[in-house]
Amino acid sequence: MHEEIIFAGFGGQGVLFAGQLLAYTALEEGRHVTWIPSYGPEMRGGTANCTVVVSDEPIGSPVCLHPSIAVVFNNPSLEKYEPLVKPGGLLIVNQSLMVAAPQRADLEIVLVPATEIATEIGQVRATNMILFGALLARRPLVRVETVRAVLQDKLGARKAHLHEINMAALERGLAIGRPVFSE
């Protein structure tokens, strides 16, 4: 396996945390990983994205010009990263903040009303975990059991109260992201 993933959105949406969680979980499972954050100078509301490369083999370069997967949290990120995803790649979109529908027919596209679902479960900041769950439903890059353990470790005792809401959000994302097969 070799996947190059971009997580992109506004600062404060948990974009970098989602990428870190994937990176730490993949490391825990013995994979080769790179994680490179990028963000604007604003504290919240500016651009934020990160590139995560997960591979079974050593990674030659952490630079990712054409990701195989993009997880976009807002419309500006959709506009920027949709054209860059490799043909046949995966595009996960926060449908709640989407202005225009994705245009490419050569991608697997998953529209997730993540902000709406996060608001419904009582924590709008869990949007990132819903999108992360949808990603894992389509591309099981890591095991959910490992995500649970790594999340608990990374949140620590100070933020332990957030563990269950994050896991509930992850489960909702997994459920909505599962492919529907017609018979």
Domains and CATH numbers, the chain: 2-177 (3.40.920.10)
Distance CA 121, CA 61 (A): 39
Note the pLDDT of residue 156: 66
Nearest to 45 by CA among 82, 15, 18, 78: 15
pLDDT means per 10 residues, the chain with 183 residues, are: 95 91 97 91 76 95 92 95 97 92 94 94 90 96 94 75 83 89 49
Largest CA distance in the chain: 50
Q: Please tell me whether residue 43 adopts helix, strand or coil conformation.
A: coil
Q: How far apart are CA 48 and CA 113, in angstroms?
A: 20
Residue of 86, 95, 13, 90 whose CA lies nearest to 46: 13
pLDDT of residue 133: 96
Q: Give the span between the Cα atoms of 131 and 12, in whole angstroms.
A: 15
| pLDDT score at 183 | 43
Q: Between the CA atoms of 65, 71, 73 and 75, what dihedral angle is there, to the nearest 10 degrees?
A: 60
Residue 182 is predicted with a pLDDT of 46
Q: What is the pLDDT of residue 76?
A: 93
Quote the pLDDT of residue 154.
Answer: 79
Whether the Cβ atoms of residue 121 and residue 171 lie closer than 8 Å to each other: no
